[in-house]
Amino acid sequence: MTQQRKPILSTRDLATIAILAAISALLFMVEVPVIPAVPFYKLDVSCLPVLLGGFAMGPLAGLLVQLVKSLLGLLHSSSQGVGELADFLMGAAMLLPAAFIYRRNKRRSTAILGMAVGTVAATIVGVLSNLYIMIPFYSAAFGMPVEDIVAMGSKVIPAVDSLGKFVLMITAPFNVFKFLVISVLTGLIYKPLSPILHGRAVGKQANAR
């Protein structure tokens, strides 16, 4: 008689993933401008539920939250899915190092290390996706010459006089700031929410996972 294999994700895990993905999709629609001269760079914290899912249930669960969020974003996309693709790549780059590092040793220090590595990875992916995907798309779709986009950056940092400097001096710092904010918020709320994410009663003493 063969022993039935335990599923990678339980029914409760799938339900939690669905809830986190819905919250993430809602947060994806709430954007705060942080660089007025470059209006298409807006802060959102939609990666927060992705990290919560990854820490609580593992990298696969977090990646599914990110995927469902991006697919839901296609329903109201203003970029023909290009923005959602870039967001998925950056979210995955943040999640995977953070979740894998934390999974090996579930301590606060490894969570911080994982999010730091994830922030660096997401920033690199953000620079590359803006350089080769996002900026060329917006330039073509909205008839905006790359030179005009570079000029936006020069209003913030006068040294910005090329697309390469734009992504290094504007895109990279913006993404570092964005994912640092998400990391801080994750660090503040993960432990209080951990019993709920793991299906334990809030009042019970729980070991950190």
Residue 204 has φ and ψ, to the nearest 5°, of -85, 150
Query: Within 13 Å of residue 42, how many CA atoms lie on the same side as its CB?
Result: 12
**Mean pLDDT, residues 105-131 taken together:** 96
Give SS3 for 182: helix
Question: Are 161 and 198 spatial neighbours (Cβ–Cβ below 8 Å)?
Answer: no
Query: Within 13 Å of residue 117, how many CA atoms lie on the same side as its CB?
Result: 14
Indicate if the pLDDT at residue 209 is higher than 60: no
Token pair, residue 33, equals 């401008």
Indicate if the pLDDT at residue 205 is higher than 50: no
Indicate if the pLDDT at residue 150 is higher than 60: yes
Looking at residue 20, what is its pLDDT?
97
Matching residue, tokens 């063969």: 2
Looking at residue 3, what is its pLDDT?
56
Looking at per-residue confidence, does 92 or 34 come out higher?
92
Looking at residue 140, what is its pLDDT?
86
Token pair, residue 52, equals 């919560």
Burial of 107 (0-12, 13-18, 19+ CB in 10 A): exposed
pLDDT (tens digit, 9 = 90+) per residue, 23-39?
999 999 999 998 888 88
Indicate if the pLDDT at residue 203 is higher than 50: no
Indicate if the pLDDT at residue 116 is higher than 80: yes
Looking at residue 200, what is its pLDDT?
66
